[in-house]
Amino acid sequence: MKQNPFLVIAIALFTIASPFTDLLADSPNIIFIYADDIGYGDLTCYGAKSVSTPNLDRLAKEGLRHTDGHSASATCTPSRYALLTGEYAWRRKGTGVATGDASMIIEPGRTTLASILQKSDYRTGYVGKWHLGLGRPGMSWNGPIKPGPKDLGFDEHFVIPATGDRVPCVYIENEKVAGLDQNDPIKVSFDKPLDNSPTGKSRPDLLFRTKPSHGHDMSIVNGISRIGYMSGGKSALWDDESMADVITAKAKSFIEKNQKRQFFLYFSSHDIHVPRVSHPRFSGKTEMGPRGDAIVQLDWCVGQILDQLDQLNLTDQSMVIFSSDNGPVVDDGYQDDAVAKIGSHRPAGPFRGGKYSNFEGGTRVPLLVRWPARIKPGTTSEALICQIDFPATFARLTGQKLEENIGPDSFDVLDALLGRSQHGRDHLVEDASLRSLRVGHFKFIPASKGRPFNPATGTELGNSNDDQLYDLSKDPGETKNLAKFYPEKVAEMKSRLLGIRESDHSRPEYKSATQK
Ligand code: NG6
Ligand code: CA
C-alpha cells in the first residue's frame, strides 16, 4: 500500500513534538505560593490532626500531593537563592540567612526562574517575603531600592525585605519604601544602636505583643523587639497583624490585573515564621496558640487565591503550586507558647528534625500541585523533587531549552511534578549545616563535630561524630544508622557527594561560561 508522504511527515512531526505540544498548547498561569517554616506534618492533608487546613486540602484533593518534595536548604535565604537560580546555594559564599540590610545576593541580570518565564511572555510578579538582600552596599532606604526583584526577572514587586523579625519593618513596592515620609528618613544598622531608643533588651516592659525567648532583643517596632536596629520611617512601618491581609490583597490585585494574559505570581507568605502575630480573627482557632493561628491564617490566604481563580474563571488554566522554604521549628525565638501547646502535633510529620536540621525534617516539605486541565485530582507521588528544579522544569513547560550555562543543579522534573511519571531526580544534596546526600531512598549524612541538638530551638540537628546512613523506605524517621552494616554504600555515597561538591554543577548538560 502506498502511503501519503504528507501524512507520514505529519504523524512523525506530531510524535516528535507531542511531549511538548500538549503542554505548550496552553501553558498555564503559574501561581507559586511559598509558605515560611511550614513543616511536612503541619497540614491536614499531610496528616495533621490539631489544625484544619481546608483550602490547602482542597489543593491536594483537586491536584497532586508530593511526598518527597524538598526545599533546597533547611533555611530561607539559601532555599530561595537555589529556587530562583537553579544553583545549590552552598556553591556560593554569602548565601546564608541574610541580614535585613544585606545587599542583593544574586547578581542583577542573572537568568532566574522569573526571567525564564518572562521570555515566554509571562507577566511576572513577586509579593511577600523576599530575604535575598536588596540594593548595593551602603544603599539608602530613602532613595530607589535597587537592584532588586526587577533585576531578576520580576516585572513588579511588593516585598517584605527580609523577615518579620528583622528590621527594616517596611514594605518595598517597585523599588521604593511604601508610604515613606521623606521628612522622616529610615536608618538601619545591624552592628550597633542608632540612638538611645529603648530596645527589647533595655525595656522588656514595652513589649506588649510578644517577648523574645532567644535573640530578637534589639529595636522595638509595634511592641515587638526584632533583630537589628532601625529609626525613622514611622508612616511606613508595617502592622504585623494585618500583614497577611495586605500581601494577599496585593497578590489578588496582580491576578486581577493580569487575568487576560499569562502570568506568574510568586506569592511568598510570611506565615508561619516568627513573630507569629496573626490577625485577631484567627486567634484561638486551634489549641496550639499563635503557631496554630498562623497555620489557619496561611490557609485562609490560600483560600482567597483559590476563590479568586474560581471567580475569574481561571482555575482550569492555572497551575497552583504550594510549598515551604524549609522545615518546621517550634521555638524560633519568641515566647509564643508554641512549645507548651504543641500537644500531640508533629510539625515534621513522620520525619526527624526540622528547620536547621540535617535530618529529613530540614528540607522535606509539603509540595502540592494543582492544574485541573492536566493533573489527575486526588493523586500522590513519591518522586524525589526539589524546588531547585523549578528553573529547568518551567523552561521545559514553556517549550524552552535551558541554556547550557544556566541552572547548574536544576533538573527537568516536569513529568514527575505533574504526576505523569513516578521518577523525579535520582539524587539530591540536602543542605543544612552539612551537605547530605540522598540517592533513591538512601540518605547519607557525613560525620561532623557539630552539636547534635540545639536546646534554644529544640531541634535535633542530625550531627554525629559518625557517618550516618538511613534507608528511608523502611525508616523515614532516621532512627537506625546502617552505616556500619553497609560500608561500601557509605563509601560510594561519600565519593559521589564529594564529586558533586568539587564540580561546579550536577546537571550533566551544564557548561560554565569559562568552559565554553
Ligand atoms: C535565625 C533567627 C530566627 C529566624 C532565622 C531565619 C535568632 C536567635 N534566630 O537567626 O528567629 O529569623 O534566623 O529564618 O535570631 S528563615 O526562615 O528566614 O531562614
Ligand atoms: Ca523559612
pLDDT tens per residue across span 470-512: 999 999 999 999 999 999 999 999 999 999 999 999 999 999 8
Residue 332 CA, ligand 1 centroid: distance in Å = 7
DSSP, collapsed to helix, strand or coil, labels residue 458 as: coil
**End-to-end CA, the chain:** 50
- Distances from the Cα of 315 to the Cαs of 24, 38, 307, 311, 414, in angstroms? 18, 25, 9, 9, 20
Residue 131 Cβ < 6 Å to ligand 1: yes
Between helix 290-311 and helix 54-62 the angle, nearest 10°, is 50
Mean pLDDT of 155-181: 98
Kindly give the number of the ligand 1 atom that is closest to the alpha carbon of 215: 8
- Name the residue with the closest Cα to ligand 1, atom 15: 215
Contact 385, 414 (CB under 8 A): no
Residue 214 Cβ < 6 Å to ligand 1: yes
pLDDT in tens, 264-299: 999 999 999 999 999 999 999 999 999 999 999 999
Residue 75 CA, ligand 2 centroid: distance in Å = 5
- Name the residue with the closest Cα to ligand 1, atom 7: 215
What is the C-alpha to C-alpha distance for residues 294 and 171, in angstroms, rounded to an integer?
Answer: 20
What is the C-alpha to C-alpha distance for residues 445 and 434, in angstroms, rounded to an integer?
Answer: 8
pLDDT confidence tier of residue 1, bands split at 50, 70 and 90: very low
What is the C-alpha to C-alpha distance for residues 57 and 300, in angstroms, rounded to an integer?
Answer: 12
Is pLDDT at 11 greater than 80 in this prediction?
no
Is pLDDT at 188 greater than 50 in this prediction?
yes
Q: In sequence order, what are the residues at sequence separation of 6 or more whose Cβ sits closer than 8 angstroms to the Cβ of residue 174?
A: 150, 156, 157, 158
Grid coordinates of 237: 512601618
DSSP, collapsed to helix, strand or coil, labels residue 224 as: strand
Residue 513 CA, ligand 1 centroid: distance in Å = 35
Report residue 1 CA to chain centroid gap: 58
- Name the residue with the closest Cα to ligand 1, atom 8: 215
Q: What is the pTM of this model?
A: 0.95
Residue 436 Cβ < 6 Å to ligand 1: no
Report residue 372 CA to chain centroid gap: 23
Kindly give the number of the ligand 1 atom that is closest to the alpha carbon of 77: 19
Reading phi first (left if > 0) and then psi (alpha if -120 to 50, else beta), residue 395 is in: alpha
Residue 331 CA, ligand 2 centroid: distance in Å = 13
Report residue 117 CA to chain centroid gap: 18
Higher pLDDT: 13 or 161? It is: 161
pLDDT in tens, 35-78: 999 999 999 999 999 999 999 999 999 999 999 999 999 999 99
* Half-sphere exposure in the Cβ direction for 192 (13 Å, CA): 2
Kindly give the number of the ligand 1 atom that is closest to the alpha carbon of 212: 8
User: What mean pLDDT value characterizes the chain?
Assistant: 95
- Name the residue with the closest Cα to ligand 1, atom 16: 76
Between helix 243-257 and helix 290-311 the angle, nearest 10°, is 20
Residue 386: phi and psi, rounded to 5, are: -130, 150
Is pLDDT at 16 greater than 50 in this prediction?
no
In eight-state DSSP terms, residue 23 is: H
Mean pLDDT of 388-410: 97
CA angle 429, 432, 438 (to 5 degrees): 25
pLDDT in tens, 310-326: 999 999 999 999 999 99
Kindly give the number of the ligand 1 atom that is closest to the alpha carbon of 216: 15
Report residue 384 CA to chain centroid gap: 16
Pocket test for ligand 1, best of 34, 76, 335 (most atoms within 8 A of CB): 76
Pocket test for ligand 1, best of 273, 291, 325 (most atoms within 8 A of CB): 273
Which stretches of 36-103 are DSSP H helices? 54-62, 76-85
| Number of other CB atoms surrounding residue 3 within 10 Å | 8
Residue 482 Cβ < 6 Å to ligand 1: no
**Ligand at shortest distance from the CA of 324:** 2
Residue 37 Cβ < 6 Å to ligand 1: yes
**Ligand at shortest distance from the CA of 35:** 2
- Name the residue with the closest Cα to ligand 1, atom 18: 76
Domains and CATH numbers, the chain: 28-182+237-417 (3.40.720.10), 187-231 (no CATH), 427-502 (3.30.1120.10)
In eight-state DSSP terms, residue 319 is: E
Residue 332 Cβ < 6 Å to ligand 1: yes
Report residue 288 CA to chain centroid gap: 24
Kindly give the number of the ligand 1 atom that is closest to the alpha carbon of 75: 19
Grid coordinates of 92: 556560593
Residue 271 Cβ < 6 Å to ligand 1: no
CA angle 38, 39, 44 (to 5 degrees): 95
Contact 243, 270 (CB under 8 A): yes
Residue 21: phi and psi, rounded to 5, are: -60, -35
- Distances from the Cα of 247 to the Cαs of 144, 238, 460, 475, 488, in angstroms? 21, 11, 33, 40, 51
pLDDT in tens, 472-481: 999 999 999 9
Residue 76 Cβ < 6 Å to ligand 1: yes
Is pLDDT at 374 greater than 90 in this prediction?
yes
pLDDT in tens, 437-458: 999 999 999 999 999 999 999 9
pLDDT confidence tier of residue 513, bands split at 50, 70 and 90: confident
Q: Is 170 exposed, middle or buried (CB count within 10 Å of its CB: 0-12, 13-18, 19+)?
A: buried
- Distances from the Cα of 453 to the Cαs of 215, 337, 348, 462, 496, in angstroms? 18, 20, 16, 8, 27
Residue 353 CA, ligand 2 centroid: distance in Å = 15
Pocket test for ligand 1, best of 34, 131, 163 (most atoms within 8 A of CB): 163
What is the C-alpha to C-alpha distance for residues 370 and 22, in angstroms, rounded to an integer?
Answer: 17
Is pLDDT at 189 greater than 70 in this prediction?
yes
Residue 130 CA, ligand 2 centroid: distance in Å = 11
Report residue 442 CA to chain centroid gap: 24
Residue 164 Cβ < 6 Å to ligand 1: no
Helix (H) or strand (E) holding 438: strand 435-439
**pLDDT of amino acid 26:** 66
**pLDDT of amino acid 9:** 54
What is the C-alpha to C-alpha distance for residues 325 and 318, in angstroms, rounded to an integer?
Answer: 22
Residue 339 CA, ligand 2 centroid: distance in Å = 18
Contact 282, 291 (CB under 8 A): no
